[in-house]
Amino acid sequence: MSWLPTNDPILGDTQSCNALELIIVPRVRDLGGFEVRRALPHGRRQMVGPFIFFDHFGPVQFLAGQGMDVRPHPHIGLATVSYLFDGRILHRDSEGNIQEIVPGAMNLMTAGRGIAHSERTPEMERAGLHSMLGLQSWIALPEGQEEVDPSFQHFDAATLPVIEDAGVRARVIAGSAFGKTAPVKSLSEWFYVEVRLEAGASAPLDATYEERAVYVLDGEVEITGDRFEGPRLLIFRPGDRITIKAVRPSRMMFLGGTAMKGPRYLWWNFVSSSRERIEQAKEDWRTGRFAPVPEETEFIPLPE
């Protein structure tokens, strides 16, 4: 995904519990035909663990011949996670990786010193009416590893650990949760889990991670007596034992990890601990120093 900042909404949700540090109502942006809800970065919170960007796109329906077309654009200093619940996206990047992203699969693109990529609806998907629902997250890279070589990891849904018990279904996308560990390799300690709860079912949020949050996509959950409807990003204090109970069938993401050391600067699609490095990335994209994306002739110009 490619982005520019927008103003934060005025929060209207006054419900809270002692363990909650912040409730974020994701702000809505229109990306040329479908809405995106952006939870991070936020005016009161830049990151949760290494998560520095969190977009919820869809649900959206496309007519035949239509689809998502995110032209080639650059990244540095981060890793992107594309995760779908519905639809398909064709990923192409300047390292030569071409991957069709499907629901339930883990796709981690590490930009490091620099990568460009595009995200488009596959041609076969455009042949008829189709829909899309998913999440795009950016993971800030730790200092000392922001300039690693770019790479791409893909794991089919069938290769990711799944836990099913008493109205709970969870898929571990990254890190460890519910006694299971995902196969993805990461440069810092973080976790990302899809959790679905039937009405009345409960799931614990691991207290061992330094920073933790729950993104409620849809449904309604109860935490220590207070209720929260989706979409909401609920950020919790470190160390507290948290149990999330579904008031009605609910879908959410558990996420977080070790806090980043030092601040991160974020401009357009660039993340870095150095302002100078971001200025260099701007110049590199403006002057065409990023490697091209195969089979692409378009690109997103540097914002003025």
pLDDT digits (tens, 9 = 90+) for 156-196: 999 999 999 999 999 999 999 999 999 999 999 999 999 99
Label residue 304 by pLDDT band (50, 70, 90). Answer: confident
Q: What percent of the chain has pLDDT over 70?
A: 93
The DSSP code sequence of 256-289 is EESPPSS--EEETTEEES-HHHHHHHHHHHHTT-
Average pLDDT of the chain to the nearest whole number: 93
What tokens appear for 276 in the block? 């100078």
Residue pLDDT, tens place only, 106-156: 999 999 999 999 999 999 999 999 999 999 999 999 999 999 999 999 999
Buried b (16+ CB within 10 A) or exposed e, 248-276: eebbbbbbbbeebeeebbbebbbbbbeee
| pLDDT at residue number 18 | 73
Closest CA to 55 of 31, 87, 74, 32: 31
Round to whole Å and give the CA distance between 135 and 57.
6
How many residues belong to the chain? Answer: 304
Q: Does 243 score more than 70 pLDDT? A: yes
Residues 255-271 have a mean pLDDT of 96
| pLDDT at residue number 17 | 53
Label residue 19 by pLDDT band (50, 70, 90). Answer: confident
Q: Does 2 score more than 60 pLDDT? A: no
SS (H, E, C) 25-59: CCEEEECCCCEEEEEECECCECCECCEEEEEEEEE
Query: Pick the residue with more confidence: 56 or 224?
Result: 56
| pLDDT at residue number 29 | 84
| pLDDT at residue number 275 | 97
Residue pLDDT, tens place only, 226-242: 999 999 999 999 999 99
Residues 201-210 have a mean pLDDT of 95
| pLDDT at residue number 11 | 40
What tokens appear for 122 in the block? 């596959």
| pLDDT at residue number 57 | 95
The H or E element containing residue 117 is strand 115-120
Beta strand 27-30 with 232-236 is: unpaired
Q: Does 14 score more than 60 pLDDT? A: no
Residues 57-66 have a mean pLDDT of 94
Contacts of 288 (CB under 8 A, 6+ apart): none
Residues 267-284 have a mean pLDDT of 98
Round to whole Å and give the CA distance between 90 and 69.
10
What tokens appear for 227 in the block? 């209720």
Q: Does 13 score more than 50 pLDDT? A: no
Round to whole Å and give the CA distance between 87 and 143.
35
Round to whole Å and give the CA distance between 237 and 223.
13
> From the CB of residue 2, how many other CB atoms can be counted at a distance below 10 Å?
18
Closest CA to 228 of 21, 18, 47, 25: 25
| pLDDT at residue number 129 | 97
Q: Does 3 score more than 70 pLDDT? A: no
Q: Does 53 score more than 50 pLDDT? A: yes
Q: For residue 67, give the DSSP letter.
A: -
Q: Are 213 and 221 in contact (CB under 8 A)?
A: no
